[in-house]
Amino acid sequence: MTLQIRVIAPDQIVWDASAEEIILPSSTGQLGILTGHIPLLTALDIGVMRVRIDKEWQPIILLGGFAEIENNNITILVNGAETVSKININEAQENLEQATQKLTEAKSSKEKIEATQNLRKARARIQAANVLNIK
């Protein structure tokens, strides 16, 4: 038995495939889903979704949203998503350093919120690259 996973962003379907297992970045921590999971609706944080297909893990960066689990179907509505194949690890590391710097320099609440979001996205890119051991 498998899970049918569909990730939908505002402008495209990011993922539509079957998998054996999925780990979601929920707002309360990592959430593992296997076949036969009880129905669930959960908020998603910025982070890395990991999907296991044929014993191989595939990471996808999710930029927040919601997931609904029911009858081995997982529908994920996200604000945005990024595939790991587009990540340049050197660029990602540089972006992480810049985001960290901007957070320390932020003065207003709006600047702090934006800087925090950018820092979380940069961390997720590094984490996703590490799942695939991208150098």
Q: pLDDT tens digit string along 59-116?
A: 999 999 999 999 999 999 999 888 777 677 778 788 888 888 888 888 888 888 888 8
Mean pLDDT rounded to a whole number for the chain: 88
Q: Do domains 3-84 and 87-131 have the same CATH topology?
A: no
Inter-residue contact 53 to 17 (CB < 8 Å): yes
Let me know if domain 3-84 sits in CATH 3.40.640.10.
no
Percent of the chain residues past pLDDT 70, beyond the cut: 96
pTM of the model: 0.79
Q: The CATH number of 87-131 is which of 1.10.10, 2.60.120, 1.10.287, 2.60.40?
A: 1.10.287
DSSP 20: S
Adjacent-strand bridge partners of 52: 21, 57
Q: In 3D, which of 64, 117, 80, 118 has the Cα closest to residue 96?
A: 118
Position 33, amino acid: I
Q: Kindly list the domain boundaries of the chain, sorted by start residue.
A: 3-84, 87-131
